[in-house]
Amino acid sequence: MATRPSSTSTPRPKVAVVGCGHGELNLIYQTVESECHARRGWSLSDLDLLIICGDFQAYRNALDLNCASVPRRYRRLVDFHAYYSGERTAPVLTLVIGGNHEASNYFFELYHGGWLAPNIYYLGAAGVVRYGPWRIAGLSGIFKPGDYRRPHDERVPYDSHGVRSAYHVREYDVEKLLQVTGQVDLCLSHDWPMWVELFGDYTTLYKARPHFLDSAKAAGLGSLPALEVLGKLRPRYWFSGHMHVRFEAAVAHRDHQPIQDTIRGLPVSEPIRSKLPIFQRQTSSRGGDDVTGRTEFLALSKPGPDTSSYIELKELDLPAHSDEAQYLGRSTCGKFSLHYDEEWLAITRAFNESLRIADPETLVVPPERHKKKVPSASISRHRKWVRENVTRKDLLRIPENFERHAPVHDPALPGLGDQPPEYPNSQTARLAELLQMTNRFAIVKNETQESTGIDLVDFTLDE
């Protein structure tokens, strides 16, 4: 039951951030609790959110392991299945994006985002949500240029290419994020925005990890689309994982200047400058002297003995967007409830018909319907619809409507070698109903075709 917003002044949100999860939920919750106490004198209940920046590994059962790009010798169910089955409950509201080692099938079923388990919310392939007066955006997956412009054409059972491309970032999802206007407070990506290290102590980083410099020299370290999103949304904070190292940078955004040009203007040392492709091109814009915003970038590592490298505890220094009372509903524990973001719902609705996914039976992807990008006028039209049909009806609060569709883990079933069928997710269906849009993830099945598991040849993975 949600309570109505109160007008009392809003304290700063306390968050715990973890780089990669690698499925180690028990260890993470336990360590976050002890670190809260040791570093800050906080208890776990003081935390507003725990944020995990990918490689979350939401394996519901052993079959889900076969939909992840993890070499067979490293496949372990780890902890999530117990949170899915209800044996354990996440002790703090946990926000998650996807990385490159995931149950890609489960994330696909929750493409628009949703509860992976009670109190554990996935932001979707891309997504924006509200936590009280603050706005949080996320981009799942990692950037691989060759798959960027492809449709979402992977359906289970994945073949040896699909099991990897399933988590590669798609232009379609990035394009949605680039439509977001107004203040975004916090943004999450698994791989780092490309070149972000140049805003921090890149010399020490490149020295400690020479292969980072090799990647930077070849094509840039990290994600080009994440860089674009960083340059456009200019959030106050940006958190990432993936590189398994702790790294900080302070990004100063300049007035009317594309972020690539801002990077070219950084006082990067000549030996490095001469090696990196971004400096081979001239700055294309003039001006940009005034700093108009700053992003505090923080990358964190994976669970391990050095807790300070993978867990950050922060009181976020964020302004409250005070005019937006529709997001301030609280749960019974007194914390803010997660809410949909009105503009993001409008963008999702505006883009829905141009989402290209493979037919689950034939694997055929429909041809592109819109050559041109979704115009902003269309988004404002959808925004008006969302305001009237969702916001004004008090339906922005994300319902706690987690449901189990896949079976819970059964230790008696080995599961090796099989991929599960796709389980159309009721949360995905509810969101489509809320927005009165076609559920592109619905599977209309002939009742005689029910399948329980599909044999699949083993494949070797190298990522």
The residue ranges that bind Zn ion (CB under 5 A) are: 20, 55
Rounded to the nearest whole angstrom, what is the least distance from the CB of residue 244 to Zn ion in the complex? Answer: 6
- What is the C-alpha to C-alpha distance for residues 96 and 125, in angstroms, rounded to an integer? 11
DSSP code of 366? P
Rounded to the nearest whole angstrom, what is the least distance from the CB of residue 326 to Zn ion in the complex? Answer: 36
- Helix ranges (DSSP H) in 120-178: 162-165, 171-178
- What is the C-alpha to C-alpha distance for residues 291 and 10, in angstroms, rounded to an integer? 27
180 to 128, 176, 216, 305, 349: CA distances (angstroms): 9, 7, 29, 39, 13
Closer to Zn ion by CB, 303 or 329: give it: 303
Closer to Zn ion by CB, 55 or 154: give it: 55
Rounded to the nearest whole angstrom, what is the least distance from the CB of residue 92 to Zn ion in the complex? Answer: 21
Which residues, 6 or more positions from 304, have their beta carbon under 8 angstroms from its beta carbon?
310
Q: 3-state DSSP call for residue 83?
A: helix
Rounded to the nearest whole angstrom, what is the least distance from the CB of residue 404 to Zn ion in the complex? Answer: 27
Q: Which of 400, 322, 434 is nearest to 114 (CA)?
A: 400
- What is the C-alpha to C-alpha distance for residues 353 and 405, in angstroms, rounded to an integer? 26
Rounded to the nearest whole angstrom, what is the least distance from the CB of residue 377 to Zn ion in the complex? Answer: 41
Closer to Zn ion by CB, 55 or 342: give it: 55
Cβ atoms 81, 59 nearer than 8 A: yes
Closer to Zn ion by CB, 99 or 133: give it: 99
Rounded to the nearest whole angstrom, what is the least distance from the CB of residue 449 to Zn ion in the complex? Answer: 37
* Pairing mode, strands 94-96 and 14-18: unpaired
Rounded to the nearest whole angstrom, what is the least distance from the CB of residue 29 to Zn ion in the complex? Answer: 18
Closer to Zn ion by CB, 57 or 425: give it: 57
Closer to Zn ion by CB, 33 or 55: give it: 55
Closer to Zn ion by CB, 51 or 338: give it: 51
Q: Which amino acid is at 52?
A: I
Residue nearest to Zn ion according to CB distances in the complex:
20
Which residues, 6 or more positions from 175, have their beta carbon under 8 angstroms from its beta carbon?
351, 373, 374
Residue recorded with tokens 């354990």: 88
